[in-house]
Chain A
Amino acid sequence: MSEPAADTDPEAADSPVEQAAQRTPSGLPLRVDGLRKEFGGITAVDGVSFEVESGSLTGLIGPNGAGKSTTFNCITGVHEPTAGDVYLNGEAITGLAPYEIAQRGLVRTFQIARELPEMTVLENLMLAPKNQQGESALRSVLPGLRGGVVDQEEQLRERAWETLEFFEIDHLATEYAGSLSGGQRKLLEMARALMTDPEVVLLDEPLAGVNPTLEEKLLDRVDDLRAEGYTFLLVEHDMDVIMHHCEHIIVMHQGQVLAEGGAEEIRTNDRVIEAYLGDDL
């Protein structure tokens, strides 16, 4: 093997390059830096910075209008931020189109479940994986090439079934997604997101309108997946869930990060209490 390059030499650790690298460790799956989004004269997100650790479940909370959804939309490419940067595994993804961000391994679910109603549950799942040969019109039509497409489809079908079993909705596989209950749709969304092989999953209020039994199931699945190395960022209104399941919590208020830390820190933070209960107290 050749000599290691100079910048990986331990003695060069104090060089500016290395210091910069330490500030943006590549181990961080998601980092948001100085994010700002203005709509006309309104600043919805005002200089938000935070980091999401690998394999963590990070909670993003805040009162209505705090800028959580706008932050979410800026990260996932639905909105282009006015200023600031978003990094996925150290690579800037700011301003990319949603599909480009999803292809790089950051996938989201929606606050109001957006199943594809006139497609079956299996079709919903099989839509998601990246780099499907048959997504080329030519490959799916030409006789010589279609064989490869069919082979890949068989593998995808098996994976989709396994994912459905993991979420315990395999009995619904051939149903139209539109006929599922609200909670089942949330499970379907998460299952579909996982089929893209994501590194980071952004969950937008996955528990809204979900009954307690199903809620427990969903959270168990998230815990299982974290053990496998998936990273989650969760926007949620249910404080109990956030306090019990997230090891790191980011509180937003009026477009800014108000506080950050573990459940205990947040619970006792005066500014957080003030923001949630009003200034009058």
Chain B
Amino acid sequence: MSDATAPDDTMVDREPDSALAAVLAAAKRSDLGLVVLTLGLIYLGATLLTFTDGLNSVVGLLRTLTFLGLVYALSTLALNLHWGYTGLFNIGVAGFMAIGVYTMGIVVRSPDPAFGPPGFGLPLPVGIVAGMAMASLFGLIAALPALRLRADYFAIVTLGLSEIIRLTLQSSTFDTALRETLGVGTGGGRGMGMPQNPVRGLFLVDGRAGDPTALGAAVFGTLGEGGLGISNNILIGWGYILVLAVFVVAFYVLLERLGRSPFGRTLKAIREDELVADSLGKNVDLIKIKVFMIGCALMGLAGILWFGSQGNVSPSPQFEPILTFYIFVAVIIGGSGSNTGSVLGGIVFAAVLFEGPRRVGAVLRDTIDAPTPPTFGDAVAAADPVGLLAYATDNIAPLQFVLLGLVLIFIMHRRPDGLLGDRIETAAAVDLTRREGGERDE
């Protein structure tokens, strides 16, 4: 959030009409403010939805929404480097995330586990670096033959690769072959258990429930079961959210620096017109390979931070192409090309479009005192709005896709550039609106 504190003099200062308008105007002026404001609105909505169930439910829902928002923000930021900056139509995001988290699992898992496939038993940081490197390597493998292809063919190659990765990880033959050659395994369709989240170790000695560390005892005593009554697992979840937030900021700073540089300028030029970049002496193929590998490494890391913290991973349904689709929707909502937009898009998608409808649907269903009609036909034929609502809220998961489609159509129609797509993201390390003595972006 490099320009969060810098005054934005491209904005015309107007007298705000109301206090709310003033807050909105102030939030718009700083990227961090915009993210905080969005989160605040989501928190407000979630609190209103669940406050009757008590503090534990509210904090638990906020934890789920924040976790999803942040992991989507990470994935969206990584995809924004490919699609938003460079115009690389990568629809194999799920595959690169799977490579990252599976490599981490294989490297870190114990060579002689109580159950599940064996691993190399190396420390977690080694596993994370290996996961990123392996995702990057797979990016290279995809990029070498495919980047010379036109955008749509490139998309098909990446989609194919991601499905090959998923089906290979699911295959028990591959699992057996790995065990026989390297002595490690993927677990096939059953998947593998992930190493213990180190954040849990901060709160609990060796991660055992009921055996808190000093920090754990202090937190649990004040906020947890000894105090406000929030469950220990939710508190540990919030601890991990702080870690995720640090990674979101790190991704953001990294990508902003990449974008606001001659490198970012070349990426934009490749997105706009490859032949022009080529004719001006830029080695387009090499730059595309580089940026693809960087983005894939970030996707691998996002996969580790997301699925690696979930206890168990399995190829299906976690890494099906729908995941890539969701991440693309988040990029489009936020506005491709804008990093702040990517963070916002990830949070808004996860909370409002992905998790929100299920929660709202469940709460609404509880308030309706009517049986659910067995089929959609029955619900319509009865011509009873209560029955229809009962049917809709009971079947919110499939209807969610209808909502998603409507939102996408609305965005494409009314705001095709996404929430922040209209912003000018300068591709230079200096302020281009000033000629001399401009503020340095360093």
Q: List the interface of chain A (C-beta within 8 A of B).
A: 76, 78, 97-100, 102-103, 107-108, 110, 114, 116-120, 122-123, 126-128, 130, 132-137, 139-141, 146-147, 149-150, 153-154, 157-158, 161, 173-174, 192-193, 196
Contact = CB atoms under 8 A, between A and B. Distances in A.
B273 A116 contact: yes
B174 interface: no
B263 A140 contact: yes
Contacts of A193: 280
Given A140-B257, A149-B429, A118 B272 contact: yes
Contacts of A98: 275, 278-279
Interface in B384-442: 424, 426-430, 432-433, 435-436, 438, 440-442
B273 A135 contact: no
Contact of B282 (A99, A126, A133, A153): A99
A134 B424 CA distance: 20
B262 A140 contact: yes
Contact of A150 (B254, B266, B429): B429
B60 to A, nearest CB: 38
B424 to A, nearest CB: 7
A173 B431 CA distance: 12
A120 B429 contact: no
B261 interface: yes
B365 interface: no
Given A119-B269, A140-B264, A150-B429, A102 B280 contact: yes
A174 B262 contact: no
A99 B430 contact: no
12 contacts: A98-B278, A102-B278, A118-B271, A126-B265, A137-B263, A137-B290, A140-B260, A140-B264, A146-B429, A150-B429, A150-B440, A174-B432
A57 B279 CA distance: 21
A147 B264 CA distance: 16
A114 B280 contact: no
Nearest to A195: B280
Given A119-B269, A140-B264, 13 more contacts: A108-B279, A110-B276, A117-B272, A120-B432, A123-B426, A132-B262, A136-B263, A137-B290, A139-B261, A146-B442, A150-B442, A153-B429, A196-B280
Contacts of A153: 261-262, 428-430
B280 A123 contact: no
Contacts of A132: 262
B280 A127 contact: yes
Contacts of A139: 261
A149 B261 contact: yes
Contacts of B279: 76, 98-99, 102, 107-108, 110
A114 B276 contact: yes
A135 B283 CA distance: 11
Contact of A140 (B258, B271, B436): B258
B294 interface: yes
A174 B433 contact: yes
B290 A119 contact: no
Contacts of A108: 279
B200 interface: no
Contacts of B262: 126-127, 132-135, 140, 149, 153
Interface of B: 254, 257-258, 260-266, 268-269, 271-273, 275-284, 290-291, 294, 424, 426-430, 432-433, 435-436, 438, 440-442
Contact of A161 (B268, B427, B435): B435
Given A114-B276, A140-B257, A149-B429, A99 B283 contact: yes
Secondary structure at chain A's binding surface: helix, strand, loop or mixed?
A: helix
Contacts of A110: 276, 279
A174 to B, nearest CB: 6
A193 B435 CA distance: 21
Contact of A123 (B257, B284, B432, B435): B432
Given A146-B442, A150-B429, A150-B440, A123 B278 contact: no
A157 B276 contact: no
Nearest to A120: B432
Given A102-B281, A119-B268, A123-B268, A157 B432 contact: yes
B384 to A, nearest CB: 52
A67 B332 CA distance: 44
Interface centre among A98, A116, A196 (most CB of B within 10 A): A116
Contact of A114 (B260, B275, B440): B275
Given A123-B432, A153-B262, A157-B432, A192 B272 contact: no
Contacts of A78: 275
B273 A157 contact: no
Nearest to B427: A123
A98 B265 CA distance: 19
B432 A116 contact: no
A126 B432 CA distance: 10
Given A120-B424, A127-B266, A150-B440, A103 B435 contact: no
A157 B268 contact: no
A150 B276 contact: no
Nearest to B291: A137
B126 to A, nearest CB: 22
Contacts of B257: 140-141, 146
A110 B266 CA distance: 19
Nearest to A98: B278
Contacts of B294: 137
Nearest to B280: A128
B424 A150 contact: no
Contact of B429 (A76, A140, A174): A140
B250 to A, nearest CB: 11
B272 A116 contact: yes
A127 B277 CA distance: 8
Contacts of B280: 99, 102, 107, 127-128, 192-193, 196
A141 B254 contact: yes
A134 B266 CA distance: 10
